[in-house]
Amino acid sequence: MKFGVVVFPGSNCDDDMIHVLGTVLQREVVELWHKQESLEGFTTDDCIVLPGGFSYGDYLRAGAIARFSPLMKAVIDFAHRGGYVFGICNGFQILCEAELLPGALLRNSHQRFTCKNTFLKTVTNQSPITAGISPGRVLKIPIAHAEGRYHADEATLQQLRDNDQVLFQYCQADGTVDAAANPNGTAWNIAGICNAQRNVFGMMPHPERASEERLGNVDGRLLFDSLLQNRMASATQ
């Protein structure tokens, strides 16, 4: 599996993602400039990552302009063909704007940007990024956003639950999912979801910030390891 990390003007977690995928996990990573129009060289066995940051300054609305970048057309097509697309923070916002994921990310209920460690309960192992994580396992992964309150209409939320598309919920250190653990007013404590086809996933917390022993937290690596192992498993099948 090869990774492509899309750099939009204003992306600022692109280097972090490339560092984790390339230097820490020793995988092939290609930096993709948003002005390019095709994903030549990528197959649907590969993964395109939309990193965090403030694409186009988050002007108008987070992710609203980036989704019209020339490369996004190719990314949308890639996703429709079954390729893996992983959006983190601003990347998640862009995926929702591009309608590759349902719902939207609204301004935090307390109206402030917030950056801190949060605890996430792994809801399902039925996704490439959670396949290697036992359901119920609590991960410590930090957030850093002002617009991370997941919102969708009741029918969509119900569908997400029915289809097992909610990947992570904010929780207490002991795994309790409650209002006190909800950092931004997000619906059903949702921190991350996948699409119905399970090849597109988005989350507000930053696993790339929790993937190195030197930084004192490796919980985020479990997601990348899952993705890679899942691919390996299907490749040998």
> Site size for other proteins, by CB under 8 A?
34
Q: What residues have CB less than 8 Å from 193, skipping those under 6 apart?
A: 101, 102, 103, 150, 160, 165, 166, 167, 201, 202, 203
CA 25 to CA 19: how far, in whole Å?
9
Among 16, 46, 97, 147, contact with other proteins (rule: CB under 8 A): 16
- Residue closer to other proteins by CB (options 51, 103) is 51
Q: Any contact of residue 54 with other proteins (CB under 8 A)?
A: yes
Give the footprint of other proteins on residues 202-221 (CB under 8 A). Answer: 206, 208-209, 211-212, 214-217
Contact range with other proteins by CB under 8 A, out of 106-114, 151-159, 195-203, 221-229: 106-114
Among 116, 154, 162, 237, contact with other proteins (rule: CB under 8 A): 116
- 8 A C-beta contact, residue 222 and residue 230: no
Q: What residues have CB less than 8 Å from 58, skipping those under 6 apart?
A: 10, 90, 147
- 8 A C-beta contact, residue 132 and residue 226: yes
- Residue closer to other proteins by CB (options 174, 214) is 214
Q: Any contact of residue 60 with other proteins (CB under 8 A)?
A: no
147 part of the active site: no
- 8 A C-beta contact, residue 100 and residue 76: yes
Contact range with other proteins by CB under 8 A, out of 42-50, 79-87, 107-115, 228-236: 107-115
Among 13, 47, 89, 171, the one annotated catalytic: 89
Specify the 3-state DSSP secondary structure of 61. coil
CA 98 to CA 72: how far, in whole Å?
8
Q: How far is the CB of 83 from other proteins (least distance, A)?
A: 26
Binding marks (x or -) toward other proteins, 71..90, rule CB under 8 A? --------------------
Give the footprint of other proteins on residues 131-150 (CB under 8 A). Answer: 142, 144, 146
Q: What residues have CB less than 8 Å from 51, skipping those under 6 apart?
A: 5, 6, 7, 11, 12, 13, 14, 16, 17, 88, 89, 90, 91, 208
CA 15 to CA 5: how far, in whole Å?
9
Give catalytic residues, as residue numbers: 89, 206, 208
Residues that bind other proteins (CB under 8 A): 9-10, 12-13, 15-16, 19-20, 35, 52-54, 56-59, 112-117, 142, 144, 146, 206, 208-209, 211-212, 214-217
